Structure formats: structure tokens, C-alpha cells
Amino acid sequence: MPKTRVETAKSRPSTALPTTSRASSSRAQQASWLVAICEGSNFGREVGIAAVNHETGRVIITQTADCQTYVKSILHLSLHSPATILAPDTFFERGIQSNSKRVIIEHIREEFPDVTVQPFARRYFNEEDGEAFVTQLALDNSERAGLLLTLHDKYYAKQATAAVFKYIEGSMGTVYSSHSLHIKYAPIEGSMMIDTETTRNLEIVASISGQKNYTLFGLLNSTFTPQGARLLRTTLLSPLTSSSAVDARLGAVSTLIQSEETFQSARTALKGVQGIDLDKLIVRLASVNKPRHLHADGGLGIEAPKVKVAYERLGQLLDLQRIIRNLPTIASAAGSTRNKLLTIIAELVSDPQLSEIERAIDLHLNDAPLTQKKGAIGALANVNSRVCAVKAPEDSLLDVARTSYKENIQDIFDYAQDVQQKHKLPIELQYHQENGGGFSFTLPRAETEDADWSWPVEWVDRVSRKKKWIFSTLQLKKLNGRMRETLEEVLAISINIVGELLQIVLARISALYKASEAIALLDVLWSFAKRSIQGSYGIILLGQVEDW
């Protein structure tokens, strides 16, 4: 980061008003964006807005000349479900000069009563810092030069950008790798604006009754991926106004409807990446958590344990492996037709850089399990998948550590069998991930309801959950400790080995973002096609007037 960024932001108390409606409550549940706003000091009501979804790595920057009611700014904020809105602390002061700035705060609080509107030091709204952040973090792709050129004279947008990243770095303790964020300048003009009152009355994304499915979004949503659901929501709240873009989507939906083979192929391909949020996965791979500074109580945050970071990083790489392995299936499904939009989707997920990532994954990682188990067995299976994730034929230390880990696991199972035989009870092992992971015993409560039953003195930490007792022994705790030591050793060695793989992925991160957009678009188009088939819907021909 530039050397000029020496100050770190300090957290401030919340100034949000309480929730007043079901609609606002629903919006709060979906909130995932951190937003900063900055208004100019002239009479033109120029407002700069920077919105960062720190979970997905998406950054939307805009600047607009607004009116007295700030309708454009309010509508833009409503599209991005803000969790926190930052504004210069001078906007909250009372005085003749600050009264005009308080107006936008009052409008925001009225429209978003459940969202934290937080004062932030005015010095962090710095135009030069904002430009430095964009230069440092924006993807190094063909769109980068155009982005920097567009932002050249967007002073208030750059000020808001500086503030939002200062907050993320200082108060949230997150630092992003260079050229790892999908930063986009999105002018408010050129898209259909649906005011928030109309959105509520039409129940587009939130039902007045509180039922999730009783909305337009609920009716149309058959998406497989989180990014597909997000794109559908944005499409409904800010519909396309370009007739050519609408025609392109209608043509793709028609192709999916008319070709059952293409429809089923797309379904199979999307099901292969079901539930994995590629946007979130990308930003987690590209970000690191550092000790947090200057909390509200003046103390320092605590750095996440290295073992936990290694565990999460290996899991992220295994998820990436699953997605990369499914991209050829998506390309085949979308590219099997002559439809232009579907062909573009196929090309985006067939980028040569993605093939380079796949080759690097094949070189460094073993195949991940195809099925994901749930419960205690699933928790242990997730740990074991990380233990066996890395290929290391030349690293004897990793092989030794893995062997020790497996032996410790076997010792625990042998001990559990001895306890079961000794007490003649249906005692079972249960794995938990709390406190670094470990095993405990479970026993049905019905086995202990006899009047003459007494607990063995060596059984400790007894807890009742549902119809079972959960407990441990000193010997089991000792075995858990040995198991954790070898697990930590395996993870530490593994994460050092895959460092090269991570660098290869980060160097090609823009291709991953494009692939995520392509998957989301195919997901939405397939969802539209499914609803059309189920409801026997027709295709609107733009520019033609129908006789009713």
C-alpha cells in the first residue's frame, strides 16, 4: 500500500435507529455491503458513493448530481443492502455550515432505519488515498485503464473510496492482495430506477407478510449458486433498459426452453457447483487478516491462529478445485448452441488462464471427496480431506506427520472400543471442531434412567443434549491433545507447500471473477427458463403492440 496511508481508523459507536418494518428487517438480514458516502460543498449536491462487499470482493463506485431528496443516492444504496453506512463526522455536527450536510443523513436514516449510519473522521475521506487504493487493488485486466480514467475527475467518489477501505483495514483488520478486487464504476444514469416504496408495495424482494416465497424474487428464484441469486435480485431491483441486452437474454432463455438437452445439461453443470460462492471464495483467497488496531475500548485485536488460517485456506483451495473441475461441463452446456449470449458464457469459463489454474491444482492437490457428509462424521471427514489435500511426494516430513495423525486417530477409536466393552453400553465417539477439534463420547439418556445407575468417576464434563449425554475422560482428553498436535503439524507443512499454488491463483484472479459472472448469468437464465416452462409463459417481443 502507499506509504502515505499511515493512519488507522478508529471504531465509533452505532447511531442507527431501531427497525420499524418487516421490509427493513428483511433487508437487514441480507445486508453485506459496507458503504461510504461523501457530498461536495458546492450547490450541485454532488454525492460520491463507494460500496464494498467484503465477502465477495465486489466494489461499486459512483458519483451523481442528486436532488433535494437524494432519490438517486437512496436508490443506489437500496441496491446494495448496506450493513453500515459511513459519512464524514462533520455531517453530524450542528451548525449553519453543517445543516445542509445533515439533510442527506436524515434521508438515509429515514429510508434505512435498521442500518448503522456511522460518523467517520473527515480526514479519512481523502481523494489521493482513494485513487491510491483503486490503483493498488483493482484487477489488472483490460478494464483497469478505463476505470482509472473514469475516476480521474470523480473527486467525491474517490473520497468515499478512501474512507471505506480505511475502515476495512483499520476497524475490520482485513488487507487485500494487490490487484485482487473487482472494482467497477457504475453510473446511476442508464438503468431503470424503482423507488424503494414501489419495491415494497410490489413485493419484489420482500413480502409484506414476511413470507420469503411470496415475492417476485421468490417466484423466479431457482438458482443454484449464491452469486446467481444476487444477480437475480439486482436484475429485479434495477432492470435492464437496453433493448439489445433484454433481447439477448430473451434469446438465451428461449434456447434453453426449446432445447431440452441444453436445459438439462445446464442444470447438471450448475448442480456441480451448487452452494459454492465463487465470489466469496476469491476474496477469501486474496485477503489476509491482521491484528486489529484501535478498537472502541482502545485495545488491540488478536491475530487469528495460524493453524486455523491454514485449515480455512486448504478448504478454500479444495472448493476452488471443485469449481475448476466443473468449468468444462459448464462450457460444454452453454457452448452447445448457436445462441450468442450462451456462447459468450462458454468462452468466459474456457479462459486459458483457468486451464493454467487447473494444471497447478492438479500438480499440488489430491482429488477432494465427491460427497459432503453432515454431522460429526462430516466434520471429521472435512478435517481428513485437508490432511490429505496436498501432494508432497518429495516431502518426507509431511508423510511422517500424516502417519502420526492417522495413528493418533486410530488410538482414539481403539480406546473408545475398550470403553464400550468395559461398560457394556452403546457408547459412541463424536467429533467436534470447537477448541481446535477433538472427540467426546455420547450415550443415549435412556441407558442411564435406571434407579441404580451411577456415573463412573472417570467420566467428566457431562452435558445433556436432546436425548444424549455428552462426556469425556482424562485419557480421551490426553489422546485428543496428541491428535491436535499432529494435525497442527500437518496443516502447517501443507500450507507452506501450497504457497506456490496460491500465487498462481492470485495472478489469474481476474479470470476467476469473469467465470463467476458467467456462472451467475447462466444460473439466472436457467432459472428464468425453468419458471417459463412451469408456468407456460411466453416471450415478449419488444417494439410490437399487441391487441388485447
The CATH number of the domain holding residue 32 is 3.30.420.110
Strands 82-88 and 58-65: unpaired
For residue 540, is it within any domain?
no
Per-residue confidence (pLDDT) for residue 303, from 0 to 100: 40
The neighbouring-strand residues paired with 176 are: 287
**Rounded CA separation 303/305 (Å):** 6
What is the Cα–Cα distance from 140 to 179, expressed in whole angstroms?
6
Q: How many helices (H) and strands (E) does the chain have?
A: 20, 12
Instruction: Answer yes or no: do 276 and 318 share one domain.
Output: yes
Residues 466 and 327 in one domain: no
- Same-domain check for residues 481 and 508: no
pLDDT of residue 100: 60
**Do 361 and 383 fall within a single domain?**
no
User: Is 65 domain-assigned?
Assistant: yes
The answer to whether residue 370 sits within a structural domain is no
Q: 33-39 and 46-53 as β-strands: parallel, antiparallel, unpaired?
A: antiparallel
Mean pLDDT of 19-41: 63
In a domain, residue 213? The reply is no
pLDDT of residue 545: 54
Q: Are residues 453 and 520 in the same domain?
A: no
pLDDT of 27 > 70? The answer is no
**pLDDT value at residue 393:** 74
Is residue 313 located within the same domain as residue 441?
Answer: no
Does residue 359 sit in the same domain as residue 454?
no
Give the pLDDT of residue 302: 34
Average pLDDT over residues 430-441: 86
- Residue, of 190 and 293, whose pLDDT is higher: 190
Domain membership of residue 3 (yes or no) is no
- Look at the chain and report how many structural domains it folds into: 3
Same domain, yes or no: 273 and 391: no
Per DSSP, what are the bridge partners of residue 309?
none
Amino acid identity, position 278: L
Same structural domain, 311 and 162: no
pLDDT of amino acid 20: 35
Beta bridge partners of 289: 174
* C-alpha torsion sign, points 417, 419, 423, 428: negative
Q: Cell 448503522, residue? A: 116
pLDDT, mean of residues 396-419? 93
Phi and psi angles of residue 531, each rounded to the nearest 5 degrees, phi first:
-65, -40
How far apart (Å, rounded) are the C-alpha atoms in residues 324 and 340? 23
Q: Provide the pLDDT for residue 15.
A: 34
Average pLDDT over residues 271-298: 73
pLDDT band at 417 (very low <50, low <70, confident <90, very high): very high
* Same domain, residue pair 39 and 179: yes
pLDDT digits (tens, 9 = 90+) for 361-380: 999 998 876 555 555 566 78
Q: Confidence band (pLDDT; 50, 70, 90) for 70?
A: confident
In this prediction, residue 455 carries a pLDDT of 86
- Model confidence pTM above 0.85: no
- pLDDT tens readout for residues 110-134: 888 889 999 999 999 999 999 999 9
Q: Which residue in 523, 497, 207 sits closest to 363, CA to CA? A: 497
At 16, is the pLDDT very low, low, confident or very high (cuts 50, 70, 90)?
A: very low
CATH of the domain at 455: 1.10.1420.10
- pLDDT value of position 377: 62
Q: Are 142 and 185 in contact (CB under 8 A)?
A: no
φ and ψ of 105, to 5 deg: -65, -40
| Least reliable range by pLDDT among 287-301, 445-459, 520-534 | 287-301
Same domain, 462 and 523: no
DSSP state of 390: B
Domain boundary among 142, 165, 199: 199
Grid coordinates of 318: 479444495
Structural domain of 382: 375-497
pLDDT of res. 448: 83
Contact assessment for residue 178 and residue 165, using Cβ atoms and an 8 Å cutoff = no
Average pLDDT score, the chain: 84
Q: Is 145 contained in some domain? A: yes
518 and 460 inside one domain: no
Report helix, strand or coil for 57.
coil
What is the share, in percent, of the chain residues with pLDDT greater than 70? 85
Kindly indicate the confidence band of residue 289, based on its pLDDT and cuts at 50, 70 and 90: low
The pLDDT, as a whole number, for residue 380 is 84
Per the domain annotation, does 421 fall within a domain? yes
Distance (Å, whole) CA 71 – CA 193: 9
Quick check: is 311 in a domain? Answer: yes
Q: Are 53 and 186 in contact (CB under 8 A)?
A: no
pLDDT at 544 over 80: no
